[in-house]
């Protein structure tokens, strides 16, 4: 009986020692070896894992579980193709899951379907280039219900009063429009294009339904009116070309040219490169390109025109689509992982401001140097 009691006592003691050893990190293992020392880094990792389990947050700095998506308005346009590619590359560089890219095809109903589909995939953040700003509030509401942050790119998400509903990264449109107008004015003066004002027209191709693009045309218009105070008012024509495709630019320009047969020399500025490219084709079709000039914004189509033996597409306000793609992904990542406020430093009285990047004019003479890799 004494032997059985002694054996039970020893077993209990050994069990207690093992429990104390696991809890405190002291003592020896079964082989008599001292335990491995737990480092501060290991302890930190353990804490992070526990936080992940409890709060479903990604591990700090790893990006393992960061899964975001982006919706672009038209993935046939070069700007959005480049922007999406840069965003995908940035996501990969941060160790995130592959960026999920949706295309709304310039169609509000398609946009809603794409949005709902992406939100059903347990994404942790969303980048949006909205094709219809009337869907802004709906977008923000759906993202809020899903518990995820949303960042607008190129076109802000706004309410009926124009106030920003979410962080946005966009071009300083008015300044870029003025930059384009100033280049055009210098070109006109240097090439004596106003010797016969009655036969000269200034065509401003505008995207009137895209609030972020309207200031581009406003800037161009202001420069022309300030520079040519005696120019026939009826010969400055501002016309809408819808969503900004090359076909829409062509149709708008061709209709304007046909409606004004008295004008034989045109100065055309557009809200993007597609508009300028479309206008260039319309001028060629009308046989007026040799006495005309077109100016775009972006540089991604202009570079092809610059390589031609001749094109009246003479210049573009170059902006890097990759900047928008990269910065939007980084901003979402930092917000999801580290809870860093998105574009906090760019806030204005409307809640969020314009991301501070503008445009640089490029021509056939300098585009390769200025655009670098983008010129290829």
| CATH code of 302's domain | 3.40.50.2300
**Confidence check: pLDDT of 6 > 50:** no
Query: Which tens digits make up the pLDDT trace of 184-203?
Result: 999 999 999 999 999 999 99
pTM of the full structure = 0.70
Query: In this structure, is residue 118 part of a structural domain?
Result: yes
Assess whether 227 and 365 both reside in one domain.
yes
Whether residue 295 contacts residue 270, with contact meaning beta carbons closer than 8 Å, is answered with yes
Assess whether 222 and 370 both reside in one domain.
yes
Beginning with the edge strand found earlier in the chain, give each strand of the sheet holding 265-270 in spatial order: 236-240, 200-206, 265-270, 293-298, 313-318, 360-362
251: left (phi over 0), alpha (psi -120 to 50) or beta: alpha
Query: Which tens digits make up the pLDDT trace of 244-277?
Result: 999 999 999 999 999 999 999 999 999 999 999 9
Assess whether 120 and 157 both reside in one domain.
yes
Assess whether 144 and 266 both reside in one domain.
no
Who contacts 99 (Cβ-Cβ below 8 Å, separation ≥6)? 68, 69, 70, 84, 87, 88, 91, 329
Question: What's the pLDDT score for residue 321?
Answer: 85
Assess whether 277 and 311 both reside in one domain.
yes
Give the chain's domain count.
2
Query: In this structure, is residue 15 part of a structural domain?
Result: no
Q: How confident is the model at residue 314 (pLDDT cuts 50, 70, 90)?
A: very high
- CA 248/CA 199 separation, integer angstroms: 25
Assess whether 273 and 245 both reside in one domain.
yes
Query: Which tens digits make up the pLDDT trace of 103-134?
Result: 999 999 999 999 999 999 999 999 999 999 99
Query: In this structure, is residue 180 part of a structural domain?
Result: yes
Assess whether 306 and 187 both reside in one domain.
yes
Query: Which tens digits make up the pLDDT trace of 20-34?
Result: 333 323 333 333 333
Assess whether 259 and 181 both reside in one domain.
yes
Tracing tokens 């025109």 back to the chain, one arrives at 305
Which residues span the domain enclosing 197? 173-318+360-375
């Amino acid at each position: 009986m004494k032997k059985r009691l002694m054996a039970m006592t020893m077993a209990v003691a050994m069990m207690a020692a093992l429990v104390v050893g696991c809890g405190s990190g002291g003592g020896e293992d079964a082989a008599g070896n001292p335990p491995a020392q737990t480092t501060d880094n290991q302890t930190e990792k353990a804490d992070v894992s526990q936080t992940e389990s409890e709060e479903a947050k990604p591990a700090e700095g790893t990006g393992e579980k960061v899964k975001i998506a982006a919706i672009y308005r038209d993935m046939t346009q070069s700007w959005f193709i480049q922007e999406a590619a840069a965003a995908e590359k940035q996501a990969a560089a941060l160790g995130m899951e592959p960026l999920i890219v949706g295309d709304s095809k310039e169609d509000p109903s398609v946009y809603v379907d794409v949005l709902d589909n992406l939100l059903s995939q347990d994404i942790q953040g969303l980048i949006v280039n909205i094709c219809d700003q009337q869907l802004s509030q709906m977008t923000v509401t759906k993202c809020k219900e899903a518990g995820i942050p949303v960042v607008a790119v190129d076109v802000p998400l706004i309410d009926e009063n124009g106030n920003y509903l979410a962080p946005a990264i966009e071009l300083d449109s008015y300044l870029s429009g003025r930059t384009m107008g100033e280049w055009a004015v210098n070109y006109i003066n240097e090439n004596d294009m106003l010797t016969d004002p009655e036969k000269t027209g200034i065509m401003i191709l505008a995207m009137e339904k895209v609030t972020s693009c309207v200031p581009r045309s406003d800037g161009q218009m202001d420069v022309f009116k300030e520079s040519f105070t005696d120019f026939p008012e009826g010969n400055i024509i501002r016309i809408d070309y819808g969503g900004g495709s090359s076909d829409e630019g062509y149709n708008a320009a061709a209709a304007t040219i046909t409606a004004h047969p008295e004008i034989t020399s045109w100065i055309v500025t557009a809200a993007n490169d597609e508009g300028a490219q479309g206008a260039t084709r319309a001028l060629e079709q009308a046989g007026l390109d040799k006495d005309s000039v077109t100016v775009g914004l972006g540089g991604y189509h202009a570079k092809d025109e610059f390589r031609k033996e001749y094109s009246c597409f003479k210049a573009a306000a170059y902006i890097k689509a990759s900047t928008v793609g990269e910065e939007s992904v980084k901003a979402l990542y930092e917000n999801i992982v580290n809870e860093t406020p998105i574009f906090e430093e760019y806030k204005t009285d409307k809640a969020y401001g314009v991301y501070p990047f503008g445009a640089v004019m490029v021509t056939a003479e300098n585009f390769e140097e200025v655009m670098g890799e983008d010129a290829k």
